[in-house]
Amino acid sequence: MQLHDFYLSGNCYKVRLFLGLLGLQAEMLNVDLPCGAQKHPEFLALNPRGQVPVLVDDGQPLVDSQAILVYLARRYGEAHWYPQDALSQGLISGWLSLTANEIHNGAARARVGLKFGRPVDLEDAQARGRQVLELVDTHLAGRLWLVGDQPTIADVAVYPYLALADEGGLDLAPYENLAAWFARLRALPGYLDLPRL
Amino acid sequence: MQLHDFYLSGNCYKVRLFLGLLGLQAEMLNVDLPCGAQKHPEFLALNPRGQVPVLVDDGQPLVDSQAILVYLARRYGEAHWYPQDALSQGLISGWLSLTANEIHNGAARARVGLKFGRPVDLEDAQARGRQVLELVDTHLAGRLWLVGDQPTIADVAVYPYLALADEGGLDLAPYENLAAWFARLRALPGYLDLPRL
């Protein structure tokens, strides 16, 4: 199993974290994002979207960090990571969509603007980021995990860019439920540290 | 089963389409988006994200159009819509993420700008829209469906806003593989017409 990876990317970290939680090893292949390696023809042949991470397992490429979590959970994970009943899968998928859109275009984009100097509408990204922090913090009141009573891939998907939100200029201090959930995630066996700048 | 719905929304159409393909009925409850009903307290109690569609089944709300497809497929659909093997689920989830982010912020946003008069960066949205049209058209070369050899929820998720892309000022004429795939989708039993403006 190989992971086409960039260390500082929260989406790549998300996959490395889940590999760690599952006790799996992958060969790490660095994709030099600052040099635009993800847009070179040989990388586009692997992932026409021009994005990291890409997981290659048994020669089969899988793109998109949320999709890789689904794949790894189904193939290698204990059932609680992605339970097979319709309701759990529906609820988890709702968090995967939130991660792909609102978190990507909020907390993650603010971090990319502030820390990588990419041109983003910082105010807009931070406003979206705060909305999601508020939403997730409120959802976690009285809950241990986002869906059900055990950790799922929803937690693994949502965690990285919320935990890194301070690097996008967002203040995490007001969110007590988030802080407690972060602590629960960090206590899981196999947890890996965040890729802080 | 109730669907909190807005007729012209491509995301709501996506769920209505899948209900049609599965031969299911739901009570339609109109959410008056032009009047901002999705931000009213009683709607936010149902969906704190303030978005349509919301499906309520057995009293349980499900939010996010991709998540609703996953739920309906697992609960009511034939296995081909969301096959249970890890690879199929991983590949399908990659298309669900593309729908949640790149299609939402591309073709769908361009349509919202042009047809609903909402303030969007039309040029940026159209550029993203064209990238995805190109990507999906290329992917469909030599394939009948996005994943595997039968229709899946990936097809149902990706289809609406690509088929409506002309309403966002995007020219669909160059994309022959897309046109053939649109025709295959439209020939499925239970297909419902697009909510054109």
Q: Which pLDDT tens digit goes with each residue over B133-171?
A: 999 999 999 999 999 999 999 999 999 999 999 999 999
B88-114 average pLDDT score: 98
Write down the ipTM of this complex: 0.97
SS3 at position A184: helix
A147-176 average pLDDT score: 98
A97-128 burial string, b = 16+ CB within 10 Å, else e?
A: bbbbbbbbbbbbbbbbbbeeeeebebeebbeb
B68 with A90: Cβ contact below 8 A: yes
With a cut of 90, say whether residue A197 has pLDDT above it. no
Taking the CA of residue A165 and the nearest CA in chain B, the distance in Å comes to 19
* Model pLDDT, residue B20: 98
First to last CA, chain B: 27
What is the pLDDT of chain A when averaged over all its residues? 97
Q: Which of A88, A92, A101 to mutate to test the interface with B (most CBs of B within 10 A)?
A: A101
B137-147 burial string, b = 16+ CB within 10 Å, else e?
A: bebbeeeebbb
With a cut of 90, say whether residue B182 has pLDDT above it. yes
What are the CA-CA distances from residue A95 to residues A90, A103, B66, B157 (Å)?
A: 9, 10, 10, 16
Give the E-state strand segments of chain A in sequence order: 2-5, 27-30, 54-57, 60-63
- Residues of B in CB contact (< 8 Å) with A are 48-49, 60, 62-64, 66-68, 70-72, 74-75, 84-87, 89-94, 96-98, 100-102, 104-105, 135, 138-139
With left for phi above 0 and alpha for psi between -120 and 50, is residue A146 left, alpha or beta?
alpha
What are the tens digits of pLDDT across the range A9-62?
Answer: 999 999 999 999 999 999 999 999 999 999 999 999 999 999 999 999 999 999
- H or E, element range at B185: helix B176-186
Positive or negative CA dihedral for A74, A79, A82, A87? positive
A153-162 average pLDDT score: 98
What is the pLDDT of chain B when averaged over all its residues? 97
Residue type, B93: S
A74 with B85: Cβ contact below 8 A: yes
- Tokens 């000022």 belong to which residue? B169
Output the six-digit token pair for B82. 């969301």
- Tokens 């693994």 belong to which residue? A156
Q: How many CB atoms lie within 10 A of CB B88?
A: 20
**CA-based nearest residue in chain B for residue A71:** B90
* Cα distance between residue A47 and residue B196, in whole Å: 33
- Tokens 């992958």 belong to which residue? A26
At residue A161's C-alpha, the angle toward residues A157 and A164, to 5°, is 140
B96 with A96: Cβ contact below 8 A: yes
* Model pLDDT, residue B86: 98
* Cα distance between residue A30 and residue A6, in whole Å: 6
A135 with B48: Cβ contact below 8 A: yes
Output the six-digit token pair for B58. 């057995």
DSSP string, A124-153: HHHHHHHHHHHHHHHHTTT-SSSSTTS--H
* Cα distance between residue B136 and residue B145, in whole Å: 10
On the question of a cis peptide bond just before residue A53, with omega within 30 degrees of 0, the verdict is yes
> Could you tell me what percentage of chain A is helix, strand and coil, using 3-state DSSP and rounding each to the nearest 5?
60, 10, 35
Closest residue to B70, CB basis, from A60, A90, A102: A90
B12-38 average pLDDT score: 97
B75 with A86: Cβ contact below 8 A: yes
Q: How many residues does chain A have?
A: 197
Q: How confident is the model at residue A128 (pLDDT cuts 50, 70, 90)?
A: very high
Q: How confident is the model at residue B77 (pLDDT cuts 50, 70, 90)?
A: very high
- Residues of A in CB contact (< 8 Å) with B are 48-49, 60, 62-64, 66-68, 70-72, 74-75, 84-87, 89-94, 96-98, 100-102, 104-105, 135, 138-139
* Model pLDDT, residue A148: 98
Nearest to B13 by CA among B28, B32, B23, B1: B28
Domains recognised in chain A with CATH numbers: 2-79 (3.40.30.10), 81-186 (1.20.1050.10)
Q: Are B64 and A97 in contact (CB under 8 A)?
A: yes
Q: Which of B52, B65, B70 to mutate to test the interface with A (most CBs of A within 10 A)?
A: B70
Question: Rounded to two decimals, what is the model's pTM?
Answer: 0.98
Closest residue to A97, CB basis, from B94, B96, B135: B96
B98 with A60: Cβ contact below 8 A: no
B93 with A60: Cβ contact below 8 A: no
Chain A hits for B81, CB-CB cut-off 8 Å, are: none
Q: What residues have CB less than 8 Å from B41, skipping those under 6 apart?
A: none
* Model pLDDT, residue B105: 97
* Model pLDDT, residue B197: 80
* Model pLDDT, residue B69: 98
* Model pLDDT, residue B75: 98
A97 with B94: Cβ contact below 8 A: no
Strands B54-57 and B2-5: antiparallel
What are the tens digits of pLDDT across the range A96-111?
Answer: 999 999 999 999 999 9
